[in-house]
Amino acid sequence: MNPMEQLKDIHVPADVSWWPLAPGWWVLLAILVLSIVALIVWQVRRYRHRRALRQALAALSALRPEQDDWPVQAYQLVKQLALSYYAREEVAGLYGARWYRYLASALPGSEQTTFISTMEQLGNAQYQRSTQPVDHPSTIAQLQRWCKRAVKHPLQQAPLAGGEHV
């Protein structure tokens, strides 16, 4: 008898299965899932946080110069937006020059003077007929720019000037 005939075929091991996954893949999968969940949570919070901004921008865009009270509405929208994003104790008591400087602190230095004078005109237009009318398009554009910037950059309390009272 031939010894070669007594040999049996070579047993090939079974193919390596991709399941169950190695621990490293589980860790990578967990990190990926947690990252996606964190991104979704962050986006939802950001969307909710910016709701007041979206509403204020839409309301400012809806103001028309034909409306007699558009300066009052614009002024109130700015105050409401500031109250939405900053501490009530810090914002609610501000008025006049301190209020305008507080709002302007969100803008770059080059835009602050123009913004303060626009806010003064807007503030005066609420209570009296101004001899010089408030420029509606530029005022609304400045207020929209302020709204977008104020939500991103924190405002700083304006220091008291000589005779101002809180």
**In this model, does residue 150 exceed pLDDT 80?**
yes
Asked if residue 106 lies in contact with residue 150, where contact means CB atoms within 8 angstroms, the answer is: yes
Please tell me the pTM assigned to this model: 0.73
Indicate the pLDDT class of residue 10, thresholds 50, 70 and 90: confident
Mean pLDDT, the chain, rounded, equals: 86
Tell me, what's the pLDDT at 123?
86
Residue 110 and residue 48: Cα distance in Å, rounded? 31
End-to-end CA distance of the chain: 115
Nearest to 143 by CA among 60, 87, 68, 69: 60
What tens digit of pLDDT does each residue of 41-91 get? 999 999 999 999 999 999 999 999 888 888 889 999 999 999 998 888 988
Tell me, what's the pLDDT at 57?
95
Spans of all domains in the chain: 51-152
Nearest to 122 by CA among 100, 147, 105, 94: 100
Tell me, what's the pLDDT at 154?
65
Asked if residue 153 lies in contact with residue 107, where contact means CB atoms within 8 angstroms, the answer is: no
What tens digit of pLDDT does each residue of 91-131 get? 899 988 999 999 998 888 888 999 999 999 888 887 776 55
